């Protein structure tokens, strides 16, 4: 099992080379470079324990000044390794946000090593826009999302550009990007 330092190092590499390096999220670079992305590694093995940790992280994020911490990646390398289970768990995350009265305040975005969009094949390159080295839950502030959308009003173009970027890169280009990092090469 990978250590916490290895998990964080792989996640940082993925953020720097894929998310920021390929500009998959044009809003990530400044927040990451400013040190306002909280990387938390969970030791939880079960979905129920991970949900408890997510609740605690939600309250942390709401309570901290966004100038110190804008967003959280809750990385869970020991829970929800199966993508179907993980995908179903995302509904529980949304329910936890609602139960905490934080709808309109927080949202969760999903990243997983086996991420697959509906209507795609597992090997389709566009799935790699949401493929991360480990399963993770990205807690975002709604206000941050609203500011990002206001700055780039046609966010659908981002998704379409990401697909074009990855199709141009292809599987071979994706593998080359990671230079021997089998955990990230897909």
Q: How does pLDDT run across 70-92, given as a tens digit for each residue?
A: 999 999 999 999 999 999 999 99
Angle (CA) 148-151-154 rounded to 5° is 90
Q: Tell me what the mean pLDDT of segment 179-185 comes to.
A: 73
Percent of the chain with pLDDT over 70: 99
Give me the pLDDT at residue 184, please.
73
Give me the pLDDT at residue 176, please.
92
Give me the pLDDT at residue 100, please.
98
149 pLDDT band, cuts 50/70/90, is confident
Give the pTM. 0.95
What integer best gives the mean pLDDT of the chain?
94
Give me the pLDDT at residue 148, please.
81
Give me the pLDDT at residue 97, please.
98
Q: Which of 64, 63, 45, 42 is nearest to 53 (CA)?
A: 42
CA atoms within 13 A on the CB side of 33: 8
Q: Tell me what the mean pLDDT of segment 100-109 comes to.
A: 98
Helix (H) or strand (E) holding 4: helix 4-14
Give me the pLDDT at residue 116, please.
97
Give me the pLDDT at residue 185, please.
73
What is the strand order of the sheet 136-141 is part of? Answer: 37-41, 71-75, 136-141, 106-111
6 pLDDT band, cuts 50/70/90, is very high
């Amino acid at each position: 099992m990978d250590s916490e330092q290895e998990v964080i190092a792989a996640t940082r590499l993925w953020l720097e080379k894929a998310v920021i390096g390929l500009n998959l999220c044009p809003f990530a670079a400044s927040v990451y470079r400013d040190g306002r992305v909280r990387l938390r590694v969970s030791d939880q093995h079960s979905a129920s324990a991970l949900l408890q940790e997510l609740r605690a992280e939600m309250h942390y994020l709401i309570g901290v000044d966004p100038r110190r911490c804008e967003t959280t990646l809750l990385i869970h390398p020991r829970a929800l390794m199966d993508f179907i289970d993980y995908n179903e768990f995302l509904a529980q995350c949304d329910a936890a946000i609602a139960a905490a009265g934080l709808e309109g305040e927080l949202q969760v975005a999903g990243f997983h090593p086996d991420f697959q969009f509906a209507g795609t094949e597992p090997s389709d390159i566009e799935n790699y826009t949401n493929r991360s080295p480990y399963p993770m839950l990205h807690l975002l502030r709604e206000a941050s999302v609203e500011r990002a959308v206001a700055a780039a009003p046609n966010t659908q173009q981002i998704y379409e550009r990401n697909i074009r970027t990855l199709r141009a890169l292809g599987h071979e280009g994706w593998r080359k990007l990671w230079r021997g990092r089998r955990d990230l090469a897909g």
